[in-house]
Amino acid sequence: MGGDLGPEEVVAGARLAASELGVEVVLVGDPERIGDAGGLAVIAASEVIEMHDDPAAAVRTKRDSSLVRTAEAVRDGRAGAMVSAGNTGATMVSALLRMGRIKGVSRPAIATPIPVPGSTPTVVLDAGANAECSPAWLVQFAQMGAAFSRQRFGIPEPRVGLLSIGEEPSKGTPLVKEAHCLLAGGAAGPEVHFVGNVEGRDVMSDAVDVVVTDGFTGNVVLKTIEGSMRFAMRAVLAALDTDEATKAAGDVLLPALLPLAAELDPDTYGGAMLLGVEGVCVISHGSSSSRAIVNAIRVARDAIDADLVGRLAASTGAAAGS
Amino acid sequence: MGGDLGPEEVVAGARLAASELGVEVVLVGDPERIGDAGGLAVIAASEVIEMHDDPAAAVRTKRDSSLVRTAEAVRDGRAGAMVSAGNTGATMVSALLRMGRIKGVSRPAIATPIPVPGSTPTVVLDAGANAECSPAWLVQFAQMGAAFSRQRFGIPEPRVGLLSIGEEPSKGTPLVKEAHCLLAGGAAGPEVHFVGNVEGRDVMSDAVDVVVTDGFTGNVVLKTIEGSMRFAMRAVLAALDTDEATKAAGDVLLPALLPLAAELDPDTYGGAMLLGVEGVCVISHGSSSSRAIVNAIRVARDAIDADLVGRLAASTGAAAGS
């Protein structure tokens, strides 16, 4: 029922995914608003958590909402993964409360891939699940982020960095300094290749594969990148539109610029992943097109096939026992 | 003595500024390394705080360093302002310890203008002076940021936003929630036009004139913008360089793209300003060209002419007495 473009776009994406990927897609929501499901199964849900609803309150009171019912379908084994373009906070809370946490995980985190054309994306986590974090949680984010980067992007030994305001371990907040100390001391276990502190300018570079931070800073970073990329694109388009000569030049350049725009388009990446819950949960951005939904479903399918949840459990459990 | 390009570049900028702006520039440093001062006065200083030196320790031990001597020259009235392209932390500590704080100011903050082509720059503060902040400090940053935006960019009623991860006052860390409560309640006084929470994507937009945040988040935001802009420029240049046709198109577009590049170039803005100390202190970035030094000196001159320090004192003192 979610997504800024309405259920039609999400349903269109689900139908495309079923035919293109050959996966079984179950739609959850109000059958009337879903309309023609194109033969896909439908789990009826009478309520909708709106984009502006308070996540925790809405999940508590709207028990027959599409988000809550979707998380229950995963919990009950009627679905292998949940994909949502709706209220991010409510998606997270539904998944957390209905699926539960992976044993040993203190807090789930949102992992968001940031495109780095010419290289594999950089995974930033936590991208907004926990505004406040403890150093031990950041250590778990490092473990989960490394396992995710390995599964999703096939990087054998992901380089994990801690977001700070300087390379030196002495830089940053007490949270960052303590997390640095733990990570540098090997608290994340042998599977995490910790490369030290990284800075904001390293996120969109190939200097690091996983960037660990608290959910407040991570969310600010994502939205700052989103804003500055949108700004840069507009500025370049405005320059192309200066006069007849630049318009003609723009036509020549378009084939070279389009692949770049596609690589930067969040639709390409299928959205973020909630790591640490007992099931696969993909959070597609609110303005997801049907193409973005297809990509999100592909990401969900790949996570199931590769047993991402089992890998996350192993990554966090192994170090807990060490 | 500072700056990644060496004292030569800084001296060249100082000489240019003296002739172009007609201001009296005093060079501080090792006379031998300064070389031909072109008739400018020189205050000799035998030590240099290097870029990698620990700021607090270096200011304590290198009492005859160019940075410490420059701050003393302002304190003693031998200079109206200090401009440095050296170690940012040491510039800040020198200014703070030698000039002292403006009465009533809890903590000085670094204010950095972010270019917004087509509009006036957005001032972000604190951009890195205080990794950890209290809500009351953020209120003072709002006051100082508004006074600075008014003086530097001539905005009569700057819109002041608080950086968070959602518009709702309930979003963010306890620090942000408490600061929101204070600012919304008018704690910053009638001179501050508080527009509520803003997000990372608003920094490079004309939605807000002053963005208030703690020094950790502010520094991460600046470096993220720096990294993503550098990335976008490189990507566009690579697209222009695809083949003969795109190269020809690029030649046509260059006149339209150059003003954009100039607007985005930090050299254009003359660097950041340390607000809250008893004197004008301009922090130019490490890789400052001679042109950047000229702009930094212009910014310093304008701040003196407009009595920025007096305005900051009034902006923070007025509310303290309200």
Dump pLDDT digits (tens) for A49-85.
Answer: 998 899 999 999 999 999 999 999 999 999 999 999 9
Q: What is the pLDDT of residue A90?
A: 95
Same domain, A224 and A122: yes
Q: Determine whether the interchain pair A253/B246 forms a contact, defined as Cβ–Cβ distance below 8 Å.
A: yes
- The average confidence (pLDDT) of chain B is 92
Do residues A88 and A288 lie in contact, with contact meaning Cβ atoms separated by under 8 Å? no
List of chain B residues whose C-beta atoms are within 8 Å of the C-beta of residue A220: 163, 165, 199-200, 217, 220-221
Q: Do A225 and B222 touch (CB under 8 A)?
A: no
Q: How many CB atoms lie within 10 A of CB A178?
A: 16
Q: Which two tokens stand for residue B166?
A: 């959602």
Cα separation, A247 vs B247, whole angstroms: 15
Residue of B nearest to A249 (CA): B249
CATH number at residue A183: 3.40.718.10
| Residues 260-299 (B) with a CB less than 8 A from some CB of A | 260
Domain co-membership, A30 together with A119: no
Residue A66 sits in the same domain as residue A121: no
Domain boundary among B268, B284, B306: B268
Domain that holds residue B20: 7-105+276-315
Average pLDDT over residues A262-276: 80
Q: What is the pLDDT of residue B271?
A: 84
pLDDT at B262 over 90: no
Residues A263 and A154 in one domain: yes
Cα–Cα distance for residue pair B108/B97, rounded to 1 Å = 11
Q: Cis link prior to A265 (omega < 30° from 0)? A: no
CB contact under 8 A, B219 and A253: no
Looking at the structure, tell me whether residues B120 and B248 fall in a common domain: yes
The predicted structure's pLDDT at residue B318: 55
Choose the final residue of a domain: A267, A289, A317: A267
pLDDT higher than threshold 90 for residue A242 = no
Residue B1: inside a domain, yes or no?
Answer: no
Distance between CA B42 and CA A176 in Å, rounded? 42
Q: Look at residue A318 in the predicted model and tell me its pLDDT.
A: 55
Looking at residue B322, what is its pLDDT? 41
Do residues B292 and B285 make contact, with C-beta atoms less than 8 angstroms apart? yes
Structural domain includes residue A252: no
Q: Do A216 and B248 touch (CB under 8 A)?
A: no
Residues B71 and B142 in one domain: no
- Report CB contact under 8 Å: B225, A253: no
A206 chain-B contacts, CB cut-off 8 A: none
Q: Is residue B216 within 8 angstroms of chain A, CB to CB?
A: yes
In terms of domains, do B122 and B244 share one? yes
Whether A321 maps to a domain, the answer reads no
Q: Is residue A249 part of a domain?
A: no
Number of A/B CB contacts below 8 angstroms equals: 165
Q: How far apart are the first and last CA of chain A?
A: 44
Same domain flag for A33 and A120? no
Question: Which of the residue ranges A235-239, B27-31, B113-117, B204-208 would you say has the lowest mean pLDDT?
Answer: A235-239
The answer on A131 and A222 residing in a single domain is yes
**Ramachandran region, residue A271 (left: φ > 0; alpha: ψ -120 to 50; beta: rest):** left
Tell me the percentage of chain B whose pLDDT exceeds 90: 75
Q: A232 and B232 in contact by Cβ < 8 A?
A: yes
Evaluate whether residue B322 is within a structural domain. no
Beta carbons within 8 Å of B51's beta carbon, 6+ residues apart: B2, B4, B86, B87, B286
**pLDDT average, residue stretch A289-314:** 95
Residue B26, pLDDT > 70, answer yes
The average pLDDT across A107-120 equals: 91
> In the predicted model, is pLDDT for residue A303 greater than 60?
yes
pLDDT value at position A24?
A: 96
- Over residues B63-115, the pLDDT tens digits come to 999 999 999 999 999 999 999 999 999 999 999 999 999 999 999 999 999 98
**B65 assigned to some structural domain:** yes
Q: Total domain count for chain A?
A: 2
Nearest 5 degrees, angle CA B61-CA B63-CA B68?
120
- Average pLDDT on B311-322 reads 75
The tens digit of pLDDT for each residue in B206-259 reads: 999 999 999 999 999 999 998 888 888 888 888 888 888 888 888 888 888 887
Answer whether residue A167 is part of any domain.
Answer: yes
* Per-residue pLDDT at A26: 97
Residue A302 resides in a domain: yes
The mean pLDDT of B252-276, rounded to a whole number, is 80
Chain A residue at shortest CA distance from B243: A256
Give the model's pLDDT for residue B125: 97
Question: Is the CB of residue A246 less than 8 Å away from at least one CB of chain B?
Answer: yes
Q: Are B240 and A253 within 8 A, CB to CB? A: yes
Q: Indicate the pTM of the whole model.
A: 0.93
**β-bridge mates for residue A27, sequence order:** A42
Q: Which residue of B has its CA nearest to A175?
A: B132
The confidence score (pLDDT) of residue B269 equals 67
Q: How far apart are CA B240 and CA B251, in angstroms?
A: 9
**Are both A138 and A166 inside the same structural domain?**
yes
pLDDT score recorded for residue A321: 45
Same domain, B129 and B216: yes
Rounded distance between C-alpha atoms, residue A130 and residue B313, angstroms: 38
Q: Which of residues 184-203 of A touch B (CB under 8 A)?
A: 199-203
Nearest chain A residue to B251, by CA = A249
Out of A163, A227, A239, closest to residue B203 by CB: A227
What phi, psi does A40 have (nearest 5°)?
-75, 150
**Contact criterion met (CB below 8 Å) for B45 and B66:** yes
pLDDT, mean of residues B107-127: 93
Residue A118 pLDDT: 81
pLDDT at B43 over 80: yes
Is the pLDDT at A208 greater than 70? The verdict is yes
A254 touches chain B (CB under 8 A): no
Are B99 and B197 found together in one domain?
A: no
Give the per-residue pLDDT at B52: 87
Smallest Cβ–Cβ distance between A256 and the set B128, B246, B252 belongs to: B246
Question: What confidence tier does A320 reach under pLDDT thresholds 50, 70, 90?
Answer: very low
Which residues of A are less than 8 Å from B229 in CB distance?
A: 228, 232
User: What does the H/E/C string look like for A78-115?
Assistant: CCCEEEECCCHHHHHHHHHHHHCECCCCCCCEEEEEEC
Q: What is the mean pLDDT of residues B171-191?
A: 96
The alpha carbon of A127 is separated from its chain's Cα centroid by a whole number of angstroms, namely 8
B178 in A contact zone (CB under 8 Å): no
